[in-house]
Structure 1
Amino acid sequence: MFFVATCLLLLPCILQAQTKTEIAEFKNWPKGTSPKEIGVRVANRFIATPHTNFNRPTPPRTITYPETCTWYGALTFAKATNDKQLVKQLAQRFEPLFGSRDTLIPKPDHVDLTVFGSVPLELYMQTKEQRYLTLGKHIADKQWGPPEGPRVKAESHYYYNKGMTWQTRMWIDDMFMITAVQSQAYRATGDTAYINRAAREMVLYLDTLQKENGLFYHAPDVPFFWGRGDGWMAVGMSELLRSLPKTNPNYNRIMKGYKLMMSSLLKYQGSDGMWHQLIDDPTSWAETSCTGMFTFAFITGVKEGWLDKKTYAPAARKAWLKLITYINADNDITEVCEGTNKKNDRQYYIDRKRNIGDLHGQAPLLWCATALLR
């Protein structure tokens, strides 16, 4: 009896030790490289940054999706660090959108615009203010509502009639844009209809676009493994699986696609920890936004127990430590591929402009910091 009682008393310590072993690579960071230190720098940079317009000097007509992704990342980082002041600042950034600057709220008639709903839904979960939930739910519901507006095409009705979102367009970018807002709506409401939608959509994209090596062309007619394009897919699956109930009929299919992609990414990671503008071309330039996205997917997989920690945790640590060396004195990350359309031309991807401080690159830094601290 004494032995059993002693074991029960020691069990929490044993479990804690096992947890520390599982994430040992995510501890003991050199000074200035920890996820909290980096996250604070990048989040404060975002707070001080006006609404951006894809690195153009003119202000945007509506909030752009890179800003949405960074805003969401800053909010998740604030939650992971219990930084109430940061939450307050991020909410203050939103306040004008309920008033004189409400025209900045994107109309939810395209995946890149609808993803904005992720932000008010996260603000609702952290502040419990109903107005955020009302707006976020409206946006998420519109994505699965009937096709409407000037963006409607023949295929919009085709996908809608199949129970998919009418905003389906078969670009791999979509698998973050769509799944993010629907997963957030599920987290905010507990209504499984949202996460079930996202899972069905993900399976459609996996079955249509994933190649035998686990990677994805930018689109069916663009046979190139573009880094950030695949990054959206990696993050989208990670975020979806993080909340998708294991009882969901599509859970195993999505997990299979995720693990296949992760094993391929491991093979293509550079010796320095980075990934490249074209994933399978080591002569193409090392690109930071995709590296951040793949690092997030690795961290999440290790933390959730989906990936072998002995294999993927060191790879994630190496990627993080190299990635953050690209952050300059202004807390802007460099070597970020500019916003990119699809084009069946390899040189088009190689020649894309390399931006500094582009929110496409700032956002994944915050996602990684959150994942490491979560």
Structure 2
Amino acid sequence: MCKKIIFLLCFLPFYLLSAQTNELKKFPKGCSPKQVGNRLAYNFVNARHDLYAGRYIHYAEVCTWNGALDYALKTNDRELIKQLQNRFEPFFTREKVLLPPMNHVDYNMFGSLALKLYQITNDKRYLEIGLAYADSQWEVPVNAKPEEKDWAEKGYSWQTRMWIDDMYMITVIQNEAYKVTGDPKYIDRAAKEMVLYLDELQRPSGLFYHAPDVPYYWARGDGWMAVGMADLLRELPKNHKNYVRIMEGYQVMMKSLKNHQRPDGMWNQLIDEPDFWPETSGTAMFTYAFIIGVQQGWLNASEYGSAARKAWLAMVPFIDERNNVTEVCVGTGKKNDKQYYYDRPRLAGDFHGQAPYLWCAAALLRK
């Protein structure tokens, strides 16, 4: 009897977690992560480049590319991996001019793609490009502005600008650099930066204003924080000095997001405005953060697994017959005007939406 009790105490939590996460394993026909991921990943392979003013690869394309690679790896789709690798090959030659300069968070995150490809191919060309982008985030250029030099002197990236988007753009490349090198300086950079942004920008509600002077909780903006924390915590050693602080910020945000989820499973363009329209990119980012939290045991599996499932099933019908995610808010700068956010145009096939859908599909395929 005693042995039986000990067995139950030791293994019951694992059994319950496994049973509860089953909600994230079985889906109706047409809604499985493999079916959805396949549609979106092959859609991306044949897509045109998304460029900043016709000059450089846009970060949203990089996010989608990374998601397609993650999905291809989870399904062991060697043909898809090859096509995604082939899409990069021209950057070494005729498309080299499209490589973003190393002078802005949105540009530098391009290196995360090269580092991910290095992990797949072991081709040193990718490593060289990727580490150059990662390291230049902390290498102050001669023509840096005074405020950029101030950030660097405090140990932060000179590209720090206190925009919530940064906590994906900076952390994603530093995370990938840590994975390929094992050098703790990369994960330390990401964690230190994340704590700064949490301390300065997170509201008591757990959410984040689009900007300190714009008191609105814009879904995709908050989505960058949600995904950035989830991905960073997955790599950050539990004994790291910043682990507890970041986990605290993550969990309070997840609780607030769950409270603001619509009955149909989506989240609105402005998270706490019930009369606004459901927006797909933010919804997908929050769903991804829930999925990772449940799988890692950071979030109550029954509660958040159900919420993630509801969200995923609500998201899939927003993919049209051309495999484009619809109802994606266009790129949006800050403005202290609520109507401005309501009136933002909505696109189909925008990489801001394709990317987090692929992240979710790949995450749901994790064992």
TM-score range, shorter chain: over 0.9
* Between 102-111 and 140-149, the greater mean CA deviation after superposition: 140-149
Q: Say yes or no: does 1:306 pair with 2:298.
A: yes
Q: Say yes or no: does 1:275 pair with 2:267.
A: yes
Q: Aligned partners of 2:132 and 2:27: how far apart in 1?
A: 42
Q: How has the CA–CA distance of structure 1 residues 103 and 242 changed in structure 2, closer, same or farther, with 3 Å as cutoff? A: same
Contact 1:292 1:323 in 2 (8 A): yes
Q: Which amino acid aligns with 1:23?
A: T
Q: Say yes or no: does 1:78 pair with 2:72.
A: yes
Q: Aligned partners of 2:14 and 2:252: how far apart in 1?
A: 30
| Runs of 4+ more than 2 Å apart | 13-20
Pairwise CA distance, 1:148: 4.4
Q: Choose the corresponding residue for 1:260, options 232, 252, 257.
A: 252
What percent of counterpart residues are identical?
Answer: 55
Q: Say yes or no: does 1:29 pair with 2:23.
A: no
Q: Choose the corresponding residue for 2:331, options 339, 343, 346.
A: 339
Q: Aligned partners of 2:151 and 2:171: how far apart in 1?
A: 16
Q: Say yes or no: does 1:94 pair with 2:107.
A: no
Q: Say yes or no: does 1:326 pair with 2:318.
A: yes
Deviations 1:216-235 (A, max 9, x none): 01111111110100000000
Pairwise CA distance, 1:53: 3.6
Aligned to 2:40: 42
Pairwise CA distance, 1:350: 1.3
Contact 2:21 2:302 in 1 (8 A): no
Q: Aligned partners of 1:352 and 1:144: how far apart in 2?
A: 35
Contact 1:147 1:160 in 2 (8 A): no
TM-score, normalised to structure 2, is 0.95
Q: Which amino acid aligns with 1:44?
A: Y
Pairwise CA distance, 1:84: 1.5
Q: Which amino acid aligns with 1:217?
A: Y
Deviations 1:167-194 (A, max 9, x none): 0001101110000010011011111110
Q: Say yes or no: does 1:287 pair with 2:285.
A: no
Q: Choose the corresponding residue for 1:210, options 187, 196, 202.
A: 202
Matched position secondary structure for 2:56 = coil
Q: Aligned partners of 2:142 and 2:32: how far apart in 1?
A: 46
Contact 2:17 2:301 in 1 (8 A): no
Q: Aligned partners of 1:307 and 1:229: how far apart in 2?
A: 22
Aligned to 1:125: 119
* Between 307-316 and 338-347, the greater mean CA deviation after superposition: 338-347
Q: Within 5 Å, give how 1:123-202 maps onto structure 2.
A: 123-149=117-143, 152-202=144-194
Q: Unmatched 5+ residue regions in structure 2?
A: none
Contact 2:69 2:81 in 1 (8 A): yes
Let me know the Cα RMSD of the aligned residues: 2.1
Q: Aligned partners of 2:38 and 2:232: how far apart in 1?
A: 26
Deviations 1:329-357 (A, max 9, x none): 00001000001111222222111110111
Deviations 1:285-317 (A, max 9, x none): 100000000000000000000000011000000
Q: Which amino acid aligns with 2:108?
A: T
Matched position secondary structure for 1:23 = helix
Matched position secondary structure for 2:31 = coil
Pairwise CA distance, 1:19: 5.7
Q: Aligned partners of 2:333 and 2:145: how far apart in 1?
A: 19
Aligned to 1:297: 289
Q: Unmatched 5+ residue regions in structure 1?
A: none
Q: How has the CA–CA distance of structure 1 residues 15 and 256 changed in structure 2, closer, same or farther, with 3 Å as cutoff? A: closer
Deviations 1:262-300 (A, max 9, x none): 000000000000001100101011000000000000000
Contact 1:147 1:156 in 2 (8 A): no
Matched position secondary structure for 1:184 = helix
Q: Aligned partners of 2:106 and 2:175: how far apart in 1?
A: 16
Q: Choose the corresponding residue for 2:222, options 230, 239, 244.
A: 230
* Between 42-51 and 139-148, the greater mean CA deviation after superposition: 139-148
Deviations 1:108-147 (A, max 9, x none): 2101101111100000011111110111001000001113
* Between 18-27 and 249-258, the greater mean CA deviation after superposition: 18-27
Q: Which amino acid aligns with 1:207?
A: D
Q: How has the CA–CA distance of structure 1 residues 310 and 18 changed in structure 2, closer, same or farther, with 3 Å as cutoff? A: closer
Matched position secondary structure for 2:214 = coil
Q: Within 5 Å, give how 1:61-72 maps onto structure 2.
A: 61-72=55-66
Pairwise CA distance, 1:18: 5.2
Q: Which amino acid aligns with 1:67?
A: E
TM-score, normalised to structure 1, is 0.93
Q: Aligned partners of 1:60 and 1:79: how far apart in 2?
A: 31
Q: Aligned partners of 1:21 and 1:67: how far apart in 2?
A: 36
